[in-house]
């Protein structure tokens, strides 16, 4: 036992006060006059009358009160044996249900192993069943009823996700801290090397966790898979179609495989490819015919192996004519569109066609026909035109607004209403958010000079994509309903900057155009688990809809009106209709890391296991053998509780004595 | 005085608030007299009692000449209580009489009692006297029935001061020098003395034809002391100090005090003395009424 604040023990000296009141004051007691003492006798207490403590109980209580108060402030503690040795045991049975568990009879073996572990537990020993893939799902709470756990084990089915031992370890650490129990974790998995996290520290188990690994399936099982498919999701000219696919083999010997390109179930082409041992080979399909519309494509590998699901790689492709964008210029200066149109036309397969139009003629235009609208230094817009554009953007449209001298004079950015504080003279670019899809691959606008740029004051929720050297926003993204607008602080010609004269201008025009047109995030195939954006705001006016690979609606009615994103959880094709009305056919494929059935080295698994409590004996084993690991346990709360009790009792006693004194008086 | 008021006994504390001793005496006496039909022993009033045949030597002033004129025989007219009694009040002014636990002390109470008695004697035209004593005679008012005697007595009582110790022998020795006539002697004291010694001291008065009455004045706390804790007590007469435990005060002291009172009562009655205990918390008029009622019954 010790004290965390021992200086407060000096407060014990305060016990002198009640001692003075009770003991020393006796010497000052004045005798009471009485008529005659002839009937009284001298008793024993008379000889010790000045030493006798008055109200012994009251004195004891008051002394105890002061001592306890000083003790409470001194914060006493006792060294307490770690609770680990006294924790109850919780058995955690984790089943790997990742894609690789589809191989052969791995899942069946895993369930049998789980049942074997369950049957080996005591009758009422708590057990928890969890399922492991990229996330951890608790299938049961800590449950003493093993029939529930058994049913949960039977319900586990493999899915198309990848497994992550790092995520599993993190979940065990949380359970270790929150449950207050000693964890006896059993992981039943094929122990893929690809499931190990890149950083071994992510496998650190909690101090009260014992991990037992149960491996199922054969070690280092060979497997073939279509590893990648690369093609454009949009096809505008069938003559330029190109699809590149990679066939990979893990733990395989050199072999020749047959690769087939299928579109909507129809085989378009087939090729033989020689794959080296434990290697990969690339196959290209070109100039295959893609009809108009969205199509479900597959690259198939033959012959099939023990894990046939990864021998097929789904992808989606859509053929359409290029989208038109409307370039609105002010006054009678159609030359403003020159640089922008030239840049867009120079990019192959940009999928966008620039259509210039004077602002004066834009009054009756139906903007919904355009992928997006460019406003190049529009000045102050006509109210009806501005309203039409706002409606267009709010319902999923987009706009690129270039702020030139005309707009600076108006004082406000059209549509957004942002205040313009003036102009800058001769500035370079200081910052570019290279991660933003509107400027990906555009570089940092090196050597670009802006002779005149507007001083923008964006909204608080706006995202600044690029800044000038003096920190003023150069390119800003703002949301308006389901749509978005990019505000450029200069013009899109060379009247106020020399950007059109640099190669980065082409990339900027194309990337920002694709971003505004909604083409930037369209891939032919995405990995299972990727979230898909359904809406940009929680506006429930329009419902989104997702039809999964099984042909069923993947969203509930509530999710259809509220969900911002949706996770693609299965291998196959998703028909997605976003809240802004855009439709997309999205192909999702399993993470091909799951196709690598190479087992993690035994020494790595042993190291992982040893980060927790082991019988072999490491620093944590001491807890298991009862060796004392102590921690200070503060007692000040208890001391304070006793103080309050002493105060209560002292009040009762003091009240009683005072009553007697009044009676005596 | 209305009956509703006279039937209500007077609280000693109420008497203590009355400054004038004569008024206190008058209030007390009228209070208890209104409850009595007659006072047989103190009756020296002009109330007719009987006729007695004249014998030579009788005072001719008492001959009823009207009867003689009708019958030619001389008769003397006798009146009730015509005994020419002298009342002598002995007031103990020792230090112990100053004890009090209420609004009035034992000495105040004794003063009220003495005042009431001398006032009563005055009403009945008896001669009355006063001796205030402690270990010596502090004041002596010779018995008399003359005019102004009441004021002298009340003044003597009022001016009586608490003295030191009690010593019965000396004042009673002096008293014997003055009491040549048959009378009533009232001794008012707390009697913190050996009962046998008290009786031995006062008993000679009884042999001279005097009637001796002992009024024992005690405070309620002297009869039933209540101590919540051991206390240090100081004797008011000797100055000795003694620590007393509550248990002793509650048990043994009360037994001893009760034994003392009973012993004194028996000794007094054995010697032909009247004994009457008056705690100071008892209404004085009620106490006097009881005393006279008992006395009348005994006669």
Rounded to whole angstroms, how far apart are CA atoms A660 and A649? Answer: 17
Q: Do B243 and A32 touch (CB under 8 A)?
A: no
| Residue with more model confidence, B296 or A124 | A124
- Residue A661: list chain B partners with CB under 8 A: 228-229
B216 CB-side CA count, 13 A: 22
- For β-strands B211-218 and B274-279, DSSP reports them as parallel
pLDDT band (50, 70, 90) for residue B51: confident
Q: Which residues contact A477 (CB under 8 A, 6 or more apart)?
A: A436, A438, A462, A463, A465, A484, A485, A486, A487
- Residue B73 sits at the vertex; the CA angle it makes with B68 and B78, to the nearest 5 degrees, is 75
Report pLDDT for B151.
87
The answer for A367, left when phi > 0, alpha when psi is -120 to 50, beta otherwise, is: alpha
Do residues A315 and A298 touch, judged by C-beta distance below 8 A?
yes
Q: Do A31 and B106 touch (CB under 8 A)?
A: no
- Residue A657: list chain B partners with CB under 8 A: 228
User: For chain A, which residues score pLDDT lower than 50?
Assistant: 27, 44-51, 84, 615-628, 665
Q: Which residues contact A327 (CB under 8 A, 6 or more apart)?
A: A336, A337, A340, A341, A354, A355, A356, A357, A373, A374, A376
Q: Do B248 and A42 touch (CB under 8 A)?
A: no
How close is the nearest chain B Cα to the Cα of A3, in Å? 41
Report pLDDT for A465.
93
Rounded to whole angstroms, how far apart are CA atoms A34 and A57? Answer: 29
DSSP class of residue A183 equals: E
| Tokens read off for A207 | 């101090």
Report pLDDT for A493.
87
Query: How many CB atoms sit inside 10 A of residue A433's CB?
Result: 15
For residues A41, A47, A53 and A57, what is the CA-based torsion angle, rounded to 10 degrees? -50
Q: Is the pLDDT score of B44 beyond 70?
A: no
DSSP A96-130: E-SGGGGSTTHHHHHHHHHHHHHHTS-TT--EEEE
Rounded to whole angstroms, how far apart are CA atoms A52 and A45? Answer: 8
Do residues B168 and B94 touch, judged by C-beta distance below 8 A?
no
How close is the nearest chain B Cα to the Cα of A88, in Å? 58
DSSP class of residue A647 equals: H
Rounded to whole angstroms, how far apart are CA atoms B252 and A41? Answer: 9
For residues A60, A62, A66 and A67, what is the CA-based torsion angle, rounded to 10 degrees? 10
Q: Kindly report, residue by residue over A316-370, the tens digit of the pLDDT.
A: 998 888 889 999 988 777 778 889 999 998 887 788 899 998 888 888 888 988 9
Q: Do A35 and B222 touch (CB under 8 A)?
A: yes
Query: How many CB atoms sit inside 10 A of residue A272's CB?
Result: 9
Closest CB from B219, B233, B257 relative to A37: B233
How close is the nearest chain B Cα to the Cα of A649, in Å? 20
Report pLDDT for A549.
92
Q: Do A664 and B237 touch (CB under 8 A)?
A: no
How close is the nearest chain B Cα to the Cα of A49, in Å? 7
Average pLDDT for B264-287: 87
Secondary structure class of A343 (helix, strand, coil):
helix
- Residue A201, preceding peptide bond in cis (omega within 30° of 0): no
Q: Is the pLDDT score of B9 beyond 60?
A: no
Report pLDDT for B140.
87
What ipTM describes this predicted complex? 0.77
In terms of CA atoms, which chain A residue is nearest residue B253?
A39
Closest CB from B190, B222, B248 relative to A43: B248
How close is the nearest chain B Cα to the Cα of A35, in Å? 4
User: pLDDT > 70: what percent of chain B?
Assistant: 76
Secondary structure class of A42 (helix, strand, coil):
coil
In terms of CA atoms, which chain A residue is nearest residue B227?
A664
How close is the nearest chain B Cα to the Cα of A25, in Å? 13
Q: Kindly report, residue by residue over B142-158, the tens digit of the pLDDT.
A: 888 788 888 898 889 98
Q: Which residues contact B131 (CB under 8 A, 6 or more apart)?
A: B88, B89, B90, B91, B137, B139, B140, B141, B171, B174, B175
CA distances from A635 to A68, A660, B161 (A): 11, 37, 68
CA quadruple B241, B243, B249, B254: dihedral positive or negative? negative
How many CB contacts within 8 angstroms connect chain A with chain B?
83
A633-637, B82-86, B125-129, B170-174: lowest mean pLDDT where?
B82-86
pLDDT band (50, 70, 90) for residue B13: low
At CB < 8 Å, which residues of chain B contact A? 96-99, 106, 190, 192, 219, 222, 226-238, 240-245, 248-249, 252-253, 256-257, 260
Rounded to whole angstroms, how far apart are CA atoms A318 and A241? Answer: 11
Q: Is the pLDDT score of B35 beyond 70?
A: no
Rounded to whole angstroms, how far apart are CA atoms A659 and B124? Answer: 51
Element (H, E) at A554: none
Q: Which of A25, A27, A39 would best serve as a mutation to test chain B binding (most B beta carbons within 10 A)?
A: A39
Q: Do A52 and B234 touch (CB under 8 A)?
A: no
Report pLDDT for A509.
92
- For β-strands A2-3 and A76-81, DSSP reports them as antiparallel
Rounded to whole angstroms, how far apart are CA atoms B92 and B190? Answer: 8
């Amino acid at each position: 036992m010790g004290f965390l604040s021992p200086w407060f023990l000096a407060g014990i000296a305060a016990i002198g006060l009640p001692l003075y009141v009770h003991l020393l004051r006796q010497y000052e007691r004045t005798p009471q006059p009485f008529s005659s003492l002839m009937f009284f006798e001298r008793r024993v207490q008379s000889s010790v009358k000045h030493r006798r403590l008055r109200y012994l109980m009251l004195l004891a209580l008051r002394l105890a009160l002061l001592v306890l108060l000083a003790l409470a402030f001194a914060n006493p503690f006792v060294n307490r044996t770690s609770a680990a040795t006294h924790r109850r045991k919780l058995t955690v049975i984790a089943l790997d249900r990742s894609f690789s568990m589809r191989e052969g009879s791995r899942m069946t073996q895993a369930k049998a192993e789980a049942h074997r572990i369950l049957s080996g537990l005591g009758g009422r020993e708590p057990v928890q069943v969890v399922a492991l893939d990229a996330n951890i799902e608790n299938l049961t709470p800590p449950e003493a009823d093993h029939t529930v756990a058994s049913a949960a084990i039977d319900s586990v089915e493999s899915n198309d996700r990848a497994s992550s031992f790092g995520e599993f370890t993190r979940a065990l650490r949380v359970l270790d801290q929150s449950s207050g129990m000693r964890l006896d974790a059993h992981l039943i998995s094929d122990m893929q090397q690809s499931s190990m996290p890149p950083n071994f520290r992510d496998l650190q188990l909690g101090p009260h966790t014992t991990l037992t690994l149960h491996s199922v399936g054969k070690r280092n099982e060979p497997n073939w898979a279509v590893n990648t498919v690369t093609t454009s999701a949009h096809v505008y000219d069938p003559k330029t179609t190109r699809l590149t696919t990679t066939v990979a083999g893990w733990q395989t010997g050199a072999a020749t495989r047959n690769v087939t390109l299928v579109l909507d179930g129809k085989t378009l082409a087939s090729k033989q490819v020689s794959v080296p041992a434990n290697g990969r080979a690339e196959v290209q399909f070109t100039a295959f015919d893609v009809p108009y519309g969205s199509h479900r494509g597959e690259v198939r590998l033959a012959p099939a192996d023990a894990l046939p699901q990864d021998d097929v790689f789904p992808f989606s492709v859509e053929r359409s004519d290029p989208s038109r964008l409307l370039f609105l210029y002010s006054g009678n200066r159609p030359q403003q569109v020159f640089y922008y149109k030239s840049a867009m036309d120079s990019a192959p397969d940009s999928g966008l066609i620039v259509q210039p139009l004077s602002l004066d003629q834009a009054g009756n235009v139906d903007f919904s026909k355009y992928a997006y609208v460019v406003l190049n230094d529009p000045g102050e817009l006509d109210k009806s035109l501005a309203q039409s554009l706002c409606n267009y953007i709010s319902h999923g449209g987009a706009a690129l607004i270039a702020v030139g001298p005309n707009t600076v004079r108006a004082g406000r950015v059209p549509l957004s209403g942002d205040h313009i504080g003036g102009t800058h003279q001769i500035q370079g670019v200081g910052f570019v958010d290279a991660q933003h899809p509107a400027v990906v691959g555009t570089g940092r606008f090196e050597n670009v000079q802006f002779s005149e740029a507007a001083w923008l004051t964006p909204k608080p929720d706006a995202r600044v994509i690029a800044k000038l050297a003096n920190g003023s926003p150069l390119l800003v993204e703002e949301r308006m309903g389901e749509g978005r607008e990019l505000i450029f602080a200069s013009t899109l010609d060379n009247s106020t900057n020399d950007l059109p004269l640099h190669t980065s201008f082409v990339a900027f025009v194309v990337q920002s155009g694709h971003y505004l047109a909604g083409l930037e995030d369209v891939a032919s195939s995405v990995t299972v688990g990727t979230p898909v954006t359904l809406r940009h705001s929680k506006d429930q006016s329009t419902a989104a809809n997702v039809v999964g690979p099984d042909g069923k609606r993947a969203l509930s009615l509530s999710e259809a009106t509220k969900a911002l994103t949706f996770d693609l959880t299965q291998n196959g094709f998703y028909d997605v209709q976003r809240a802004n009305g855009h439709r997309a056919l999205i192909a999702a494929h399993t993470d091909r890391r799951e196709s690598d059935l190479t087992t993690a080295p035994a020494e790595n698994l042993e190291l992982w296991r040893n980060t927790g409590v082991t019988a072999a004996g490491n620093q944590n084993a001491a807890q298991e053998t009862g060796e004392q690991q102590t921690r200070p346990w503060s007692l000040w709360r208890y001391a304070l509780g006793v103080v309050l009790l002493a105060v209560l009792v002292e009040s009762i006693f003091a009240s009683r004595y005072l009553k007697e004194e009044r009676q005596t008086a | 005085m209305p009956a509703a008021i006279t039937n209500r006994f007077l609280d000693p504390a109420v008497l203590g608030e009355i400054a004038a001793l004569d008024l206190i005496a008058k209030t007390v006496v009228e209070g208890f007299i209104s409850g009595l039909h007659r006072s047989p022993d103190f009756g020296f009033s002009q109330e007719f009692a009987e006729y007695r045949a004249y014998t030579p030597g009788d005072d001719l002033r008492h001959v009823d000449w009207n009867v003689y004129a009708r019958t030619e025989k001389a008769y003397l007219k006798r009146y009730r209580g015509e005994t020419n009694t002298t009342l002598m009040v002995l007031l103990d002014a020792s230090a112990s009489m100053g004890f009090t636990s209420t609004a009035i002390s034992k000495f105040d109470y004794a003063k009220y009692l003495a005042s009431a008695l001398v006032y009563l004697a005055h009403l009945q035209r008896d001669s009355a006297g006063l001796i205030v004593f402690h270990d010596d005679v502090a004041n002596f008012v010779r018995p008399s029935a003359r005019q102004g005697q009441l004021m002298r007595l009340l003044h003597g009582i009022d001016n009586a001061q608490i003295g030191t110790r009690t010593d019965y022998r000396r004042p009673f020795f002096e008293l014997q020098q003055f009491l040549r006539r048959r009378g009533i002697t009232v001794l008012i004291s707390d009697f913190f003395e050996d009962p046998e010694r008290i009786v031995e001291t006062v008993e000679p008065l009884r042999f001279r034809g005097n009637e001796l009455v002992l009024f024992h004045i005690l405070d309620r706390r002297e009869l039933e002391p209540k101590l919540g804790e051991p206390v240090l007590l100081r004797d008011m007469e000797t100055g000795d100090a003694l620590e007393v435990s509550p248990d002793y005060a509650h048990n043994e002291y009360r037994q001893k005090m009760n034994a003392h009172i009973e012993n004194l009562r028996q000794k007094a009655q054995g010697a032909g003395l009247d004994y009457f205990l008056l705690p100071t918390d008892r209404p004085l008029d009620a106490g006097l009424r009881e005393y006279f009622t008992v006395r009348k019954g005994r006669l």
